[in-house]
């Protein structure tokens, strides 16, 4: 028995050694082949001339500058050597703005082109006879040029809400509330009677998924999951799963704007997706007049605006989805008696729904005992 073990160990040693020798031989062969392919002479003079040459540097805007939307932006540059460019092309956010003729060293990006918030690239490409075009860039952050309005609220109605519902998606559609709930092992899709809070239809999601935002598009319900990059499509009536879709961000909030689905991922970005295949159409970064507004969570499209609650706060932000600018904030502090909330850090505001026929706004939170119908009060 012991002899067999020793033999086996020896035999294993022989095999390992052989494998090592083969590896060394293979790598030597590879090194030889590389040597064979290495050019014997230095590159020709023409090849050296084709190497990039710095022609200009940007002097304005400053590095990582901040500006505001709908304001023009001056761009200036200067030569770094003796070469004077024949022309310089100015690009803003990926599009050509103007070709600046040789001898001039500044241009203006007109206000009409700076209407969208977020980080934008300013790029100059300098052309000089016989030289490879020289490209330099800066990034500029565009905050909103609007000072947001502030609103408080008035509770118009209070309806019961299931305290087991870890609300991650909420919408109102043709007389019914629909709710998506989260947590692994507890995630559901629900159809709820507004007045009684009774769950009239419920679909349990596979235990490994953490359910997130929901929306309705053409008699189908779309539901995101948090970190599984997977979404579900259900028949609105039966809750039967009719398809899945995939995305490369986290999934937080979801709503419908015309023929686009609008998704949030916990950052300050809104993604506009084609419901057919969930392809990205465009995205926008949300900024107010002071900077980016991150942790954008549950969404609702209301009269041309996207309303979103900001995760872990009592605030709803009203966003212009075209420009990314914050139009207003709604402060819901005090809407629920804290003694009615089980977990004060986790059971936060997370659900905005809109009844377009009766112009009613509904809000609730994770495991809150109530869902509120509110009206806005100007401050
Ligand atoms: Ca919603």
- Give the least confident one: 39-43, 101-105, 173-177, 219-223: 39-43
Mean of pLDDT over the chain: 90
DSSP state string for 281-322: EEEEE-B-SSSB---EEEEEEETTEEEEEETTSSEEEEE-TT
Determine the pLDDT at residue 15: 45
Helix (H) or strand (E) holding 178: strand 176-181
DSSP 254: E
pLDDT at position 17 is 46
**Extents of the domains making up the chain:** 52-143, 149-378
Classify residue 113 by its DSSP letter.
Answer: G
Q: Do residues 329 and 318 touch, judged by C-beta distance below 8 A?
A: yes
Q: Residue 310's Cα: distance from chain center in Å?
A: 14
Quote the ligand 1 centre to 242 CA distance (angstroms): 22
The residues placing their C-beta within 5 Å of ligand 1, an ion, are 170-171, 300, 352
275 Cα–ligand 1 center, Å: 17
Distance 221 CA to ligand 1 centre (A): 12
Pick the CATH number of 149-378 from 2.130.10.10, 3.90.800.10, 3.40.50.2000, 1.10.1060.10: 2.130.10.10
What pLDDT does residue 102 have? 92
Q: 52-143 domain in CATH 3.90.550.10?
A: no
- Alpha-carbon distance of 234 to 44, in angstroms, equals 64
Least confident of 31-45, 68-82, 253-267, 338-352: 31-45
Measure 90 CA to ligand 1 centroid, in angstroms: 41
Ligand 1 geometric centre to CA of 290 (Å): 26
Distance CA 325, CA 3 (A): 79
Residues 134-171 pLDDT 10s: 999 999 999 999 999 999 999 999 999 999 999 999 99
Q: Ligand 1 mean position to 222 CA, how many Å?
A: 12
- Do residues 253 and 294 lie in contact, with contact meaning Cβ atoms separated by under 8 Å? no
Distance 364 CA to ligand 1 centre (A): 10
Distance 376 CA to ligand 1 centre (A): 17
Residue 36 in tokens: 């064979």
């Amino acid at each position: 028995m012991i002899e067999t073990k020793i033999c086996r160990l020896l035999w294993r040693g022989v095999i390992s050694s052989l494998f090592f020798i083969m590896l060394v031989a293979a790598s030597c062969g590879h090194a030889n082949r590389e040597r064979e392919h290495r050019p014997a002479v230095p590159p020709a003079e023409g090849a050296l001339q084709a190497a990039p040459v710095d022609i200009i540097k940007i002097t304005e805007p400053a590095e990582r500058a901040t500006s505001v939307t709908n304001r023009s932006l001056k761009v200036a540059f200067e030569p770094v050597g003796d070469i004077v460019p024949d022309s310089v092309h100015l690009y803003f956010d990926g599009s050509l703005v103007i070709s600046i003729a040789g001898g001039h060293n500044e241009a203006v990006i007109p206000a009409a082109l700076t209407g969208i918030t977020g980080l934008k690239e300013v790029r100059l490409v300098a052309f000089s006879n016989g030289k490879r075009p020289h490209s330099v860039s800066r990034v500029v952050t565009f905050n909103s040029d609007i000072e947001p309005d502030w609103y408080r609220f008035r509770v118009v109605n209070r309806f019961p809400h299931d305290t087991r519902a870890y609300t991650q998606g909420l919408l109102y559609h043709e007389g019914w509330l629909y709710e998506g709930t989260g947590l692994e092992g507890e995630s559901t899709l629900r159809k709820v009677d507004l007045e009684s809070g009774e769950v009239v239809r419920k679909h349990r999601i596979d235990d490994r998924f953490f359910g997130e935002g929901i929306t309705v598009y053409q008699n189908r319900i779309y539901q995101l999951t948090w970190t599984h990059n997977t979404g579900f499509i259900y028949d609105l009536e039966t809750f039967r799963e009719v398809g899945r879709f995939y995305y490369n961000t986290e999934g937080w909030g979801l709503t419908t704007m015309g023929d686009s689905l609008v998704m949030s991922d916990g950052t300050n970005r809104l993604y506009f997706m084609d419901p057919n295949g969930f392809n990205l159409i465009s995205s926008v970064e949300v900024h107010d007049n002071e900077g980016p507004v991150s942790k954008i969570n549950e969404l609702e499209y209301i009269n041309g605006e996207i309303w979103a609650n900001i995760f872990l706060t009592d605030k709803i932000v009203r966003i212009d989805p075209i420009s990314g600018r914050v139009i207003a904030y709604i402060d819901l502090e005090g809407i629920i008696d804290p003694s009615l909330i089980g977990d004060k850090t986790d059971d936060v505001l997370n659900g905005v729904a809109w009844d377009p026929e009766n112009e009613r706004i509904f809000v609730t939170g994770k495991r809150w005992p109530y869902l509120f119908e509110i009206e806005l009060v100007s401050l």
